[in-house]
């Protein structure tokens, strides 16, 4: 595979991974600041699971009419 094709594929994947990790870390930091007494419970896994549950609820139509 030519180098330019690898670069065309790798650059967007790299940008997506950097953006996703930055968003997850920012959400985690914000949640830790919001609830300092439970800061140790706020992990990347808990942020991802909360986001996944909200997407499932949105997909099911739970947020219609808000």
Domain range list for the chain: 3-60
- Whether the model clears a pTM of 0.75, i.e. scores above it, the answer is no
What torsion do the CA atoms of 49, 50, 54, 59 make, to the nearest 10 degrees?
A: 0
pLDDT at 64 over 90: no
Q: What are phi and psi of 61, to 5 degrees?
A: 90, 15
Render pLDDT for 18-27 as a digit per residue (tens, 0 to 9): 999 999 999 9
Helix, strand counts (H, E) of the chain: 2, 0
What torsion do the CA atoms of 50, 55, 14, 27 make, to the nearest 10 degrees?
A: -40
């Amino acid at each position: 595979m030519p180098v330019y094709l690898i670069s065309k594929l790798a650059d967007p994947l790299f940008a997506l991974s950097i953006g996703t990790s930055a968003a997850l870390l920012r959400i985690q930091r914000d949640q830790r600041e919001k609830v300092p007494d439970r800061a140790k419970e706020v992990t990347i896994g808990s942020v991802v699971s909360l986001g996944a549950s909200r997407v499932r609820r949105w997909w099911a139509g739970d947020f219609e009419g808000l």
